[in-house]
Amino acid sequence: MNAPDTKPVSFADVALEQTMARARALVPALRERAAQAEAGRVMPPETVRDLQAMGALRILQPKRWGGMEYDFIAYIDMPMELARGCASTSWTVVNLTIHNWMLALYDERAQAEVWGADPEVMIAAGIAYPQGRARKVDGGYVISGKWNFSSGVNISSWCMLAVTVRDGADGSGKPVDYRMCLLDQSQYQVIDDWHVMGMRSTGSMSVVANDVFVPEYKALCMLDARGDSTFPGAKVNPNPLYCISLAAMGGLGIAATAVGNAMAALEHTQELVKSRSTNYTAQRMRDFQVVQLRVGAAGAKIDAARHLLRNDCFEAMDKARAKSVPSLETKLRQKRDAAYAAQLATEAVDMLHTITGAMGIYVSHPLERIFRDAHALGAHISLNFDAQAAAWGLSTLGGEVHIPTL
């Protein structure tokens, strides 16, 4: 956050290549800080400063607010690069980045209220609609709920909370709308319950709000974020970037974190194998064919996952530019692809972790953390391949898939 006498930095003229170079240069520092970040269960302040100095959280923010407004591919490439250093840092950046993108969809008054005060502000979210409830009142909504897995909420000043709006005076009727409500930190409580096996420094804690009034302009209708230009912010943010379907493409960023984490596993393994002989036979590890095969297979899985995610990003941008709203089947395929990319990445990490042998069980070994992070992040519902593949399969077989926000 900016000091009162400090003018915010604008990144509107910074090229993507320059930003990516800065991300690559940050990887060694992220690796050095990973253990500290895990112990503290929070992104270290120096990492936050480094990320803000390079504009990493503003890659999808509108240029009118000093952001880069890059094509959506940056949402894949940036976290993939950062995850080579620390998966938790990448995951947090992904979430804070997409929330900046989402704010561009809101009414201009909401954008001015948040970015006008601080264009570098960090925004967390609770994205499960069933965890929040809302009733319509004059001028807006009254919301309550408890949302878990709010990544980065412990370092954010705002939070977007998903609610299901039900009809009836008491809000107990059938669902009639789905809103993402924007609250400042004075309006919700953060519950420090993030004690987990992996992704520890994402600070993905729970958030509670009780009977909070949210004005209409800060309650984005998620039926307007399905892949066209009906959202309120379209009047001031006409870039096709903001016409991409959130529900379809939002999960690709965290899948990119999974792929970057696997890339880190491959790099560490390559360094290990090049320098090591076995303790019992004194043979060089690189001469074992099983090691060669596992490294080769893991590399193929990682490359396949990376290209799958990037191809879907290019496709989504092309459709947005053509003002073509993707079909439900296309959106379900994109969600399937994100989950499959993450599965491939996890398989690659597992294969590489076995190469480390007994050394891989020490908490001081980077593959130990990478292994835990891979399985922790893979538990996200967006990356559950069974769930996402089944939905796409049902759609292609003529069945009905009902996801209102998709």
Which stretches of 147-233 are DSSP H helices?
none
SS (H, E, C) 17-66: HHHHHHHHHHHHHHHHHHHHHHHHCCCCHHHHHHHHHHCHHHCCCCHHHC
Return the number of other C-beta atoms located less than 10 Å from residue 31's C-beta.
17
CATH topology of domain 16-115: Butyryl-Coa Dehydrogenase, subunit A; domain 1 (1.10.540)
Domain ranges for the chain: 16-115, 123-225, 246-396
- What homologous superfamily is domain 123-225 in, according to CATH? Butyryl-CoA Dehydrogenase, subunit A, domain 2 (2.40.110.10)
Does 345 or 366 have the greater pLDDT score? Answer: 345
Tokens 């009639």, residue?
A: 176
How confident is the model over 169-202, as pLDDT tens digits? 776 789 999 999 999 999 999 999 999 999 999 9
Residue 209 tokens, joined? 């709000």
Q: Does the pLDDT value for residue 107 go beyond 50?
A: yes
Contacts with 64 (C-beta within 8 Å, 6 or more apart), sequence order:
236, 237
Same fold, 16-115 and 123-225: no
Contacts with 78 (C-beta within 8 Å, 6 or more apart), sequence order:
19, 20, 23, 56, 59, 93, 97
Q: Does the pLDDT value for residue 4 go beyond 50?
A: no
d(CA 150, CA 202): 9
Residue 160 tokens, joined? 């977007």
How confident is the model over 330-363, as pLDDT tens digits? 999 999 999 999 999 999 999 999 998 877 788 8
Task: Give the chain's mean pLDDT.
Answer: 94
Among the four given CATH numbers 1.10.3720.10, 1.10.645.10, 1.20.140.10, 3.40.50.360, the one describing domain 246-396? 1.20.140.10
| CA 75 distance to own-chain centroid | 8
User: CB of 335 within 8 A of CB of 245?
Assistant: no
Torsions phi, psi for 179 (to 5 deg): -125, 150
- When pLDDT is cut at 50, 70 and 90, the band that residue 256 belongs to is very high
- pTM for the model stands at 0.94
- When pLDDT is cut at 50, 70 and 90, the band that residue 287 belongs to is confident
Residues making up the chain, counted from first to last: 406
